[in-house]
Amino acid sequence: MQASRKELGRIVADKNPIAWAVPDTKEKEHRYFFLDSRISKEGDTPLMRLLALHATPLTVENFLFYAKDRLQYHQRHAILRQENTSNNPNILLKSNNQGVSPLHVLLHRNSFYVGEIVRLLLRVDPTLVRRRMKITGSFPLHISMANSLTIQQEVLEDLLMADPSVVYEEDVDGDNPVSLLCKNVLRFRWARNWVTQSVSPKAKDLTSQSWMTVITPDQFMGYCTAMINAAQGSSCAQDCVTWHNICTFPRCPPLLIKILAQKMSIDSLLQQDEEGCTPLHYAAKGAAMSRASIPQHVLEESKSIVELILSLAPQAASYKE
């Protein structure tokens, strides 16, 4: 008789008392992915090591299935002794001593399967999006926006759906995910030229760049507006975003203003809301984008969003609040 998944997991666990044996295929004759089951002195868990190795969604799913069963089966396992939470399945998703969670690791590695695994982890524990690293103050969304050369729209949507308020959270440098994404794209020539020399890409280059440019101007704008809309509780699509929406958001990147200036009506910069405020009023009140991690020559050539709005609509300076 063929052993069930649960029975097979117990058999393998018994034969390998210090390793997780994780099936990585759906075939009858399983191939196994072996991991050291110990938690390191830094608090790193087997799941973190698995995610750092670009594991497939099936391997991660099987790990969570077998590991949960094994935790219940081996009541005196070393992990249980350290955590003393034998019946808590979230022990599998614990953070290390520096507050780094499995979701942090997954988004930093940004593997080919990141979208499927993000959904899997959030289905098990949605609170992963609220884990903050101790030293940098970064949430998982911060890690994704600051480090990823490629960003999947689906991953961003899943993170925002889990908790959109994270968009307002700032790290130790005063950066939120939107400002971090701007600093991320400064590695691309189109972004540096636009910020320092006011040389914007041609219209045909807004959606497609060279193979070296992974995040295009239109994608950057779309990611930023999606985060801002989600944080402000708006279901508004990118097409109906307003200057007031953008300028009320703290740490708003000047690069986003430059891109939107080619997409939106400049006349609407003079519109007043119910409180009599124009976008310029909110831009002047809001916190500016932090200067951390931006090269000095870029800072010297950059304009603030207040300066950009005044250059686009000088009449805005004459409006009283």
In whole angstroms, give the CA distance from residue 120 to residue 317: 50
**Structure confidence by residue, pLDDT tens digits, 250-290:** 999 999 999 999 889 999 999 999 999 999 999 999 999 99
In whole angstroms, give the CA distance from residue 87 to residue 75: 9
Which helix (H) or strand (E) element contains residue 23?
A: strand 19-23
CA distances to 130, 170, 279, 282, 310 from 275, in Å: 33, 27, 12, 11, 20
Least confident of 60-69, 75-84, 123-132, 153-162: 75-84
Structure-block tokens of residue 202? 């041609």
Structure-block tokens of residue 307? 């300066």
Closest alpha carbon to 224 in 269, 270, 191: 191
**Structure confidence by residue, pLDDT tens digits, 3-19:** 455 455 554 555 555 55
> pLDDT band at residue 193, thresholds of 50, 70 and 90?
confident
pLDDT at 78: 45
> pLDDT band at residue 153, thresholds of 50, 70 and 90?
very high
Radius of gyration of the chain (CA): 24
The single-letter DSSP state of residue 294 is -
Residue 32, strand partner residues: 23
Buried b (16+ CB within 10 A) or exposed e, 196-226: beeebbeeeebeebeeebebbbbbbbbbbbb
Taking the CA atoms of residue 6, residue 8, residue 11 and residue 16 in that order, the dihedral angle to the nearest 10 degrees is: -100
Structure-block tokens of residue 98? 């520096």
Calculate helix-pair angle for 57-73, 5-15, nearest 10 degrees.
70
Residue 69 CB partners (closer than 8 Å, separation 6+): 6, 9, 10
pLDDT at 142: 98
Q: Are 67 and 73 in contact (CB under 8 A)?
A: no
Q: What DSSP assignment string belongs to 47-62? A: HHHHHHTT--HHHHHH
In whole angstroms, give the CA distance from residue 24 to residue 58: 6
Report the Cα 179 to chain-centroid distance in Å: 12
Least confident of 67-76, 94-103, 220-229: 67-76
CA angle, 171 as apex, 169 and 176 as ends, to 5°?
50
Closest alpha carbon to 254 in 209, 191, 201: 191
pLDDT at 72: 52
Residue 254 CB partners (closer than 8 Å, separation 6+): 195, 289, 302, 303, 304, 305, 308
**Structure confidence by residue, pLDDT tens digits, 101-139:** 999 999 999 988 999 999 999 998 999 999 999 999 999
Question: Across residues 14-43, what is the average pLDDT?
Answer: 63
